[in-house]
């Protein structure tokens, strides 16, 4: 059962940055307790804070491990469902369609893809194809909210915040492990 993104949750006073390495390079999560506010293929807390709309001054760093990073390692070891169990939160300033689109991303099974058109329809507005693309492009919780599973109607990759090489590698990893 996938943990869904919760919209409108208040950010606490400070968030904690945890880092690791993956087969695709550095990966970090910005968390409050067990809830992930931002994640991606970077080691920069400032970068993640910016993506999540959080003041970088509110980020503390930790050398300790975190359950979200354990799930990332399990994912790369072949447990594609490990990321489904990671709790995420959506910043309160996103609109209802973006929140629905990002929640719909979590329902795309690993090893499969959907088009931006299909994502728009699943999120409740079939005509909002560009908005579906924007929901992916501005997703602050990369990999865990799997926007890398969305492609163009012609099957081409489209974009990915951390680069098409990483998107291509993620899709290949999932296809091989599924």
Q: Catalytic positions, please? A: 147
Taking the C-alpha atoms of residue 49 and residue 117, their distance in angstroms, rounded to an integer, is 29
Angle between the N-to-C axes of helices 96-105 and 129-137, in degrees from 0 to 180, rounded to the nearest 10 = 70
CB atoms closer than 10 angstroms to residue 99: 19
- 158 CB-near residues (< 8 Å, 6+ apart): 116, 133, 136, 150, 151, 152
Both structure tokens of 52:
């999540």
């Amino acid at each position: 059962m996938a943990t869904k993104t919760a919209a409108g949750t208040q950010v606490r006073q400070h968030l904690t940055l945890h880092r690791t390495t993956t087969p695709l390079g550095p990966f970090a999560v910005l968390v409050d307790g067990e809830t992930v506010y931002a994640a991606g293929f970077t080691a920069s807390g400032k970068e993640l804070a910016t993506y999540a709309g959080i003041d970088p001054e509110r980020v503390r760093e930790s050398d300790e491990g975190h359950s979200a990073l354990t799930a990332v390692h399990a994912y790369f070891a072949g447990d594609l469902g490990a990321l489904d169990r990671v709790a995420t939160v959506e910043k309160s300033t996103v609109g209802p369609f973006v929140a629905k689109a990002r929640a719909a991303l979590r329902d795309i099974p690993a090893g499969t893809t959907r088009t931006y058109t299909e994502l728009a329809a699943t999120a409740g507005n079939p005509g909002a194809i560009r908005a579906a693309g924007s929901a992916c492009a501005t997703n602050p919780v990369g990999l865990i909210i799997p926007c890398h599973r969305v492609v163009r109607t012609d099957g081409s990759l489209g974009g990915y915040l951390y680069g098409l090489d990483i998107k291509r590698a993620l899709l290949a990893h999932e296809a091989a492990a599924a």
